[in-house]
Amino acid sequence: MGSGKFPLISKKQLASHNTVDSAWVSLYNRKIYDITEFLDEHPGGPEIIMEHAGKDITKILADPDSHVHSESAYEMLDDGMLIGYLATDEEERELLSKHEGMEVTFDALDAERYDRIPAGADGMRTVDLTDFGEIPDDLLHLKTDASADYKKYKFLDLDKPLIRQVLFAHWTKEFYLDQIHRPRHYGKGSAQLFGNFLEPLSLTPWWVIPILWLPPNMYIFYLGYTHLNPFVFFSMWTIGLFAWTLIEYCLHRFLFHLDTYLPSNQLAFTIHFLMHGVHHYLPMDGMRLVMPPALFLLLATPIYKLVFAIFPYYIACAAFAGGHLGYIIYDLTHYAIHHAKLPAIYSNIKTSHLEHHYKNYKLAFGVTSTFWDRVFGTLCKPKDVYQKRA
């Protein structure tokens, strides 16, 4: 920590910040965090956080019936959201009560630096002080302080193109896998992968999926439906749809998470990062939550050829239409899990997938269903928290 001290804040003031425009929480009844800008980024949705705005969240963060949060969750709070300390009863009596109308002090900040900090609606000036001793230009409520994060972990500088850094680094496999599974929240749109003309190819809005893939799906559906008995058609279509759930599970578990068998070199790390690592590193990046069309074609082509080689043409159309629809549902569900409020019926699916990201990436591989996780014993249980490196 630099020379600046964080402000001392009263319980009354903490309790008053309980709206979507200004949401504060405390941890261990001591540290106070401004999570206002994090509300929309919270994997579980803003509603869950707002139940605890203005209150202490120590118990709920560790509650196994709700969601045992990983080390990364605590790190995110300290990386850019810490704004002060909750005054004890004694401190309120001895310190705050002696300064009528003044609940916060920045006694270690000089006047010039203090004046450069924008005042909030309540007149307070809050700042994220880092180990660098200087106030960042974009100083309010960054999800992850890129400079501080890089200084602490020596992994990736979020403010520079990522692929070049991965390709030319000198990491051990253990270090790489540990770091990409410590989620960061960039907070300024999408972090750059390439930093050049290739950048747009790495960004895929969710709406591209139905616009691009529903028309061919409907055409293949039409071919099968108009040339087969309805019972035969829908039987094969349902089988294809169900088969997708297994394909989804296997791709996620054995290809995207080829972690154990990943070669220990930077080229392998780069391919792994491009395919799935970047999603675990930046799980709330809304432009990298659905599969880029080029990657889908690469993965779907052998499956397409296999289905049409095994079955008669129109039966293959029925099966592939079902499986392809399953993929479309998968991608849209994946986006919704991270960025939309889902009906209660989807709560188990959402919880399972977020536990995969924030609790233990070695479990919970299903996205549209937990069925195969139950079959293969990979459901995430309350105590299944992945132990990260120190």
- Residue set of the binding site for heme: 42, 69
C-alpha 58/C-alpha 362 separation (Å) is 26
Locate 269 and state its tokens.
């790390």
DSSP string of 19-64, one letter each residue: ETTEEEEEETTTEEEE-GGGGGG-TT-HHHHHTTTTSB-HHHHT-T
Q: Do 289 and 334 meet the contact criterion of CB atoms below 8 Å apart?
A: yes
Locate 188 and state its tokens.
């300024």
C-alpha 356/C-alpha 365 separation (Å) is 7
Give the residue numbers of the binding site: 42, 69, 252, 257, 276, 279-280, 334, 338, 353, 356-357
What are the CA-CA distances from residue 330 to residues 90, 337, 349 (Å)? 54, 10, 12
- In eight-state DSSP terms, residue 68 is -
Query: Helix 293-310 and helix 208-227: axis angle, to 10°?
Result: 10
C-alpha 101/C-alpha 339 separation (Å) is 40
C-alpha 204/C-alpha 115 separation (Å) is 41
C-alpha 178/C-alpha 181 separation (Å) is 6
C-beta atoms surrounding 289 within 10 Å = 20
Element (H, E) at 235: helix 230-250
DSSP string of 303-361, one letter each residue: HHHHHHHHS-HHHHHHHHHHHHHHHHHHHHHHHHHHHSPPPGGGHHHHHHHHHHHHT-T
Give the residue numbers of the binding site for Zn(2+): 252, 257, 276, 279-280, 334, 338, 353, 356-357
